[in-house]
Structure 1
Amino acid sequence: MATLTLQPEPDTAPDNPDNYNYTTLTPDDLLKAIDKFNYSQPVKSSLRNLKSNILVDDPVIETDEAGSLTLTGTIGKSRFLLKFPPKWNHELVLLVHGYIDPGTPISLEQIGLDQIDLGVLNSAFEQGFAYGYSTFGKVGYAVEEGTKHTLYIKKLTEVLGLERAYLSGRSMGGNITIALLEKYPREFAGALTYCGVMSGWYEQIKYLSDFRVIYDYFTKPLGAPITLAGCGDVLTVVTLPNRQEVINSVSALFSMAEINMNTSPANSTMINIIKRISLITGVNPDPISYMTVLLTNTVGLSDYLETASANGYSNENKVYKYPPEYIPASEDIKALETLNDCVQRLPCKRVATAYLKRWYTPTGKFRAKLLALHNLKDPSVPFIHELKLDEMARKFGSKLVVWIAPDKPTVPGDPESGPGHCFFTPEQMSFAWKELRNWVETGNLPTGGFPNELMS
């Protein structure tokens, strides 16, 4: 696919990638850097939102036969990893991982195993870049923790002579990435995001919450197993449906719609319910997409309410509509009017809304070059995030390019097929990294998108 959008490029002198001053680090170099980092508190405390008492604890340094060095340790409450190639070019790629379900154990080994992320990290490492990442010290909604702990790793690497840094952010990590680019505009030269929450966590909560209350409204009259537990009271954690109940609900809804289609076309109740839910919410009309959105909402609700101190999104004054290109029949108009009269309205608290804005709703003003990748039909983090960020970025002339990647294909008879979240290949990620690096080093915009051989 072609590039979705290009922002104006200021005049900059291109770098020559052949002029790197490569360094072979030793374990002693890393130990000295840790000591210096721990001692030089004024450097870190001069940055907004960083505490001055951040130290590196429990450092472990490992070497391999190729001469690579790996440093692991703890900064604050978070475990971190830094890996340096045998010949380091004084540049760094920081991986910013995505959302991890609350209650799920997390380790550095888990973060470093994903093949999509490794498409970037391995390519950069082979080119002389160091890379690193953090556990954030928290699972679930961890934008605040991810922002701070990712920056801590960058500041530690500066002690070793870091000259330029990049970010690679996935899903929630995309939101953390844009937070870092805007809060600390001189810290990073470029960033790659994929399926990111790019227009903000408030927008993501709105998307998830709207779908849940609209799904509940249309399915409440249908009864079990389609009607979900907590229907009409979606902010009460103790009444939330479990994972299997969500799967059963959506499966039954689509199964009944298929029966209507095949045996009783005149009885189109289920078909119309699915049609109206998808038109109003923008969620793809397929069972995997519905399950994905509902599970994302229910699994993370308790953690979100605790992290933000309350619910930060309200639909109390919202008027739900069909998309402007849809011409509704009279039955559709009546259904929409009744929905707006009867749908559950969600109250919010200002403190929670403020937290969603702070961690993080972007302004669109950033200095770094940002290449954002997204699947067009991602049900978990919708593509509209990219469109909204693009609109904001244009106001400031920020350097943003968005590429569309093909969605996971639907295979008849395979319930696991169809559009999903973060459907990329390591080869696509490696190619995108190459294009971002070239953009930063030469000023040449990555205008072509993925080549044809990477689009299938």
Structure 2
Amino acid sequence: MKQPILVLSVVLLALQGSAPFAQVGAQPPERCEQGTQTDGAIYLICLPEDRPWNGDLVIFAHGYVAFNEPIALPDLELPDGTLIPDLVNGLGYAFATTSYRVNGLAVLEGTEDVIDLVEVFSQLHGEPGRVYLTGGSEGGLVTALAVEQHPEVFDGGLAACGPIGDFRDQIDYWGDFRVVFDHFFPMLIPGSPVDIPDEVIENWDAIYAPAVSDAIEADPDATDQLLQVTGAPIDPKDPASVEETVLGLLWYNVFATNDGVDKLNGQPYGNRLRVYRGSDPDLLLNRTVARFSAEESALETIEKSYRTSGDLVSPLITLHTTGDPIIPYWHERAYRAKVAANGDSSFHVNIPVLRYGHCEFKNYELLVAFALLVFKSSGQELAGVRNVLPLERDWQAYASLAREYGAIR
């Protein structure tokens, strides 16, 4: 009988400037040990220090990192300053994470590296008792694929803010935003939306991101039409969210496109037959917007290796903000439909978070999702939550939401 393992991997980094997933952050606790996996990925392992280890393991699978960044451990600091290893160890679990062996599009390598990390941990500290996998953003797709394809390793997972519904549709969402942006703001970003010049990548922060900010501020009508056509979410109560959405989506086009073409064995974006609506006038937009055809080799790679099946034999909890501008909430509906088609709906629970932002969760929301995963997998309520939620208001919010989803009685 397989031993369950817990992989808790939720990236909670707010979009910061042009690099939403920069890896510069707080240093890991001194009690943690670092090393190198056989494929070159860097790992970090942390065991509880002030309480007994419960025998289970939590692995953090990180989100997207630009292809041109050095291989490094992910940022482990949550928005409120809490370190993820401290949160996990405070619940009595061991914690481990990996840099992955590559940056950029790393779904396949990331899946292999978190599986290998389980073996690394076992060699150093003995085989853990219970195994769950969770991840955020790109790590959310790593989680969903790993839970579907490797039930012999993982007893369940928590996939947060990930492109789990349809990876091809996610690529088209990013591509559509760029071509529609170019229609309303022509000549602002040089080069093709499907072939990014090195000069744009190298000078994004210094030249092009500021130019985009100035342009959308100078022409709010064009910006409104851009958002209407693409359906990219903003927070109506926060004017700054417009710039955050626009820069965030363009960042992914600039930094993910060329790397994606290389790793997907071709150019995956296509809008040849797309009809765009929401501009004034739509006829002009559809006549003049740049058109591209996806290469069959890339689509075959996506279909073979990057698309979830919704075929579950163990629990998968998903957590997603309804106003996510980078990886939209519609992924949750698409994934739910896949699970239902397989007759596996009892294994999947989605927790929608009514908020703007990519992976913008509060600690208690993460803990509820994790508690539900533990309960559905083991039949046990998550212990030690008060240890990591010292504020009474956070505990009350946790208890209320956990009861709503049946994570506690």
Band the TM-score falls in, shorter-chain normalisation:
0.7 to 0.9
Residues 112-127 of structure 1 aligned to structure 2 (within 5 Å) = 112-114=76-78, 121-127=85-91
TM-aligned CA distance change 1:154 to 1:100, over 3 Å: same
What's the offset of the Cα at 1:237?
Answer: 2.2
Aligned CA distance change for structure 1 residues 115 and 350 (closer, same or farther; 3 Å): same
- The yes-or-no answer on 1:106 pairing with 2:106 is no
Post-superposition Cα deviations, 1:400-447, rounded to whole Å, max 9, x if no partner, equal 22222243xxxxxxxxxxx432212334323432332223222899xx
Task: Give matches, 1:396-435, under 5 Å.
Answer: 396=342, 397-398=344-345, 399-407=347-355, 419-435=356-372
Contact 1:119 1:430 (8 Å CA) reproduced:
no
Counterpart selection for 1:248 from 211, 218, 224: 211
2:374 maps to 1:437? yes
Native 8 Å contact 2:76 2:83 kept in 1:
no
Counterpart of 1:235, as a letter, is: V
- Partner residue, 1:141: 105
SS in 1 for 2:185: helix
Structure 1 residue 301: deviation in Å?
A: 1.9
Corresponding residue number in structure 2 for 1:97? 62
Match of residue 40 from structure 1: none
**Residue number in structure 2 paired with 1:184:** 150
User: Which of 255, 272, 288 is residue 316 of structure 1 equivalent to?
Assistant: 272
Instruction: Report the AA paired with residue 180 of structure 1.
Output: A
Read off the aligned partner of 2:245 and give its amino acid letter. S
Q: Are 1:78 and 2:41 matched, yes or no?
A: yes
CA distance in 2, matches of 1:297, 1:247: 16
Equivalent residue for 2:238?
A: none
Q: What RMSD over aligned residues (CA atoms) do the two structures have, in Å?
A: 3.1
Question: Where does residue 410 of structure 1 map in the other structure?
Answer: none
Q: What's the offset of the Cα at 1:279?
A: 2.5
2:301 to 340, 345, 355: 355
* Matches for 1:145-160 after TM superposition, within 5 Å: 145-158=109-122, 160=126
Aligned to 2:339, the other structure's residue is in SS state helix
Check the 8 A contact 2:46/2:85 in 1, yes or no: no
Q: Does 1:280 align with 2:229?
A: yes
Aligned with 2:335 (options 389, 399, 407): 389
8 A Cα contact 2:47 2:53, kept in partner: yes
SS across alignment from 2:323: coil
AA matched with 1:172: E
Please say if 1:201 is aligned against 2:167: yes
* Cα displacement (A) at 1:274: 3.0
- Structure 1: give runs of 5+ residues left out of the alignment: 1-62, 258-270, 323-330, 408-418
1:304 aligns to 2:260 (yes or no): yes
Shift of 1:172: 0.4
Q: C-alpha distance in 1, partners of 2:272/2:81?
A: 40
Superposition deviation, residue 97 in structure 1: 0.3
Structure 1 residues 116, 369: closer, same or farther in 2, change over 3 A?
Answer: farther
Q: Compute the displacement of 1:240 (Å).
A: 4.1
3-state DSSP class of the match of 2:131?
strand
Q: Is the alpha carbon distance of 1:207 and 1:176 closer, same or farther for their aligned partners in structure 2, counting shifts above 3 Å?
A: same
| 1:239-298 deviations in Å (ceiling 9; x for gaps) | 7472432332243223332xxxxxxxxxxxxx2x33332222111352221111111111
Tell me how far 1:319 sits from its aligned partner. Answer: 2.6
CA contact under 8 A between 1:312 and 1:354: conserved in structure 2? Answer: no
- Structure with more contact order per residue of length (Cα contacts < 8 Å, sep ≥ 6): 1
SS in 2 for 1:165: coil
2:195 alignment partner, one of 223, 236, 250: 236
Report the Cα distance in structure 2 between the residues aligned to 1:167 and 1:94, rounded to whole angstroms.
7
Change (3 A) 1:279 1:344: same
C-alpha distance in 2 between matches for 1:161 and 1:392: 33
What is the TM-score when the length of structure 1 is the normalising length? 0.68
